[in-house]
Structure 1
Amino acid sequence: MNDNYVALITGSATGVGRACALRLAEEGFDIVVNYSQSQTEAEETRTLVEELGVQALLIQCDVSDDAGVRKMVGEVEEKWGRLDVLVNNAGTTEFIEHNDLDAVTEEIWDRLLGVNLKGPFFCIRAAAKLLRESDIGAVVNVSSTAGVDGRGSSVPYCASKGALNTMTKSLARALGPEIRVNSVCPGPIDSRWLKRVMTDEQLAEMTSEYPIPRPALPEDIADTVVYLALGTSLSTGQMLVVDGGRTM
């Protein structure tokens, strides 16, 4: 059995996932760095984690592939014999105007639900045995305010995150008391994701009238993830919105 706690963060090559990996490494966790396509960035995350004095395990896996997820968790068990925190951060979207219904293909629906909803379920199911054996077993799902108010990059994205929030509640009931399951719901994040479709100036303008008038940084979301994973022992089935007051 590994002496350090172990955390698996899906989609941890960049952005919020990388920030979560580094924050949990600072807390003394050994880290599983998961990626689907961004190998170079994932290797950078592994290096940054190891520079903090803990071990890192790099695993390529598309979370929408149930067999691949089971294999990934099996690798974690083989290497360290434990898993204490699971952060379901991997996600994808398509930027489609909500009134453009014809642009939403069945393929888009299947991909977004596969990664954003089925993926977290597959990861939780595969990890449940190890998480139950931990004295701090915790799951944090990285959701979105799109799953709260229906405003987001596309209708399928909003639907996938709304379903993830509901699943968070269902699994909190099903897996308690050994495993706590919570979600963090960020608003706009200053990250590569949004930079695909807007400039820094557009992002600043979009958030300028929020009570806290700025977008989130990946580190803001990582702080919340660490709180839900380690900073509370009684919270489960909760969706914690971190959006500068946007949805208030």
Structure 2
Amino acid sequence: MNEKYVALITGSATGVGRACAQRFAEEGFDIVVNYSRSEAEALETKFLVEAEGGNVLLIQCDVSDDAAVQAMIGEVESQWGRLDVLVNNAGTTEFIEHKDLDAVTEEIWDRILGVNLKGPFFCVRAAAHLLRISDLGSVVNVSSTAGIDGRGSSVAYCASKGGLNTMTKSLARALGPEIRVNSVCPGPIDSRWLKRVMTDEQLAEETSGYPIPRPSLPGDIADTVLYLSLGTTLSTGQLLVVDGGRTM
């Protein structure tokens, strides 16, 4: 069995996932870097983790594919024999005006729910037997305030994150006390995701009226993921909002 703790961060090629991989490596973890399509960026994450002294398993896997998820966890078990923290960070969306109901096709629904809702469930189910025997046994789902207040990139995205929030509570009940399950719910994040549709100036204007008037950075969310994984032993089934006070 691997001597060091192991964290699997899905969607860790860029953004919040990469920041989480780096933070866990700083804490002495070995890291499973998962990606779906962004191989070049995932290799950059691997390099950054190794620079912090962590060993890396780099695994391509679309988390919406149950068989692929099971194969990924099987590889982790075969290589390292343990998994202590699972961060369900992989996500997708489409930017669609909420009033434009016809634009939300069945294909879009299936893809968003597949990655954002089914994917975390598949990962937890496949990894539960390893997480149960860890003295950490933590799952952190990267959700969104969109799942709380219904404001987000599309109706389907908001619905997927709302589902993820309630699933967090269901899984916390089902898997305790051995496994804790929590979610972090960010507001707008200054990352490549939002930069697809907003300029820096638009993002600054969007957040200017918040009590803390700035978007979060990937590192802000990684700090919260680290806290939910390592900084508390009694919190489970919680939705920790990190949004500068936007939804207060």
Pick the TM interval, shorter chain: over 0.9
Alpha-carbon distance between aligned partners in 1 of 2:219 and 2:21, rounded to the nearest angstrom: 10
* 1:133 alignment partner, SS class: coil
TM-score (norm 2): 1.00
> Match of 1:122?
122
| 1:101-180 map, 5 Å | 101-180=101-180
Alpha-carbon distance between aligned partners in 2 of 1:163 and 1:237, rounded to the nearest angstrom: 13
The amino acid of 2:6's aligned partner reads V
The amino acid of 1:6's aligned partner reads V
Q: Which runs of 5+ in 2 are unaligned?
A: none
**2:184 is equivalent to residue 200 of structure 1:** no
Alpha-carbon distance between aligned partners in 1 of 2:136 and 2:13, rounded to the nearest angstrom: 25
Per-residue deviation at 1:132?
0.2
**2:94 is equivalent to residue 94 of structure 1:** yes
* 1:73 alignment partner, SS class: helix
| 1:65-76 map, 5 Å | 65-76=65-76
Alpha-carbon distance between aligned partners in 2 of 1:52 and 1:229, rounded to the nearest angstrom: 19
The amino acid of 2:186's aligned partner reads P
**2:56 is equivalent to residue 53 of structure 1:** no
Alpha-carbon distance between aligned partners in 2 of 1:187 and 1:52, rounded to the nearest angstrom: 28
Alpha-carbon distance between aligned partners in 2 of 1:40 and 1:115, rounded to the nearest angstrom: 21
> Match of 1:34?
34
Per-residue deviation at 1:54?
1.4
Alpha-carbon distance between aligned partners in 2 of 1:212 and 1:63, rounded to the nearest angstrom: 34
Alpha-carbon distance between aligned partners in 1 of 2:80 and 2:5, rounded to the nearest angstrom: 9
Q: Deviations over 1:51-100 (max 9, x none)?
A: 11110010000000000000000000001000000000000000000000
Runs of 4+ in 1 over 4 A off after TM superposition: none
The amino acid of 1:57's aligned partner reads L
Alpha-carbon distance between aligned partners in 1 of 2:207 and 2:240, rounded to the nearest angstrom: 19
* 2:147 alignment partner, SS class: helix
* 1:32 alignment partner, SS class: strand
The amino acid of 2:69's aligned partner reads V
Alpha-carbon distance between aligned partners in 1 of 2:29 and 2:85, rounded to the nearest angstrom: 9
TM-score (norm 1): 1.00
* 2:11 alignment partner, SS class: coil
Task: Figure out how many residues of one structure are paired with residues of the other and give that number.
Answer: 248
> Match of 1:225?
225
Alpha-carbon distance between aligned partners in 2 of 1:170 and 1:53, rounded to the nearest angstrom: 36
Q: Which runs of 5+ in 1 are unaligned?
A: none
* 2:34 alignment partner, SS class: strand
Q: Percent identity?
A: 84
Q: Deviations over 1:182-225 (max 9, x none)?
A: 00000000000000001000000000010000000000000000
Alpha-carbon distance between aligned partners in 2 of 1:72 and 1:46, rounded to the nearest angstrom: 17
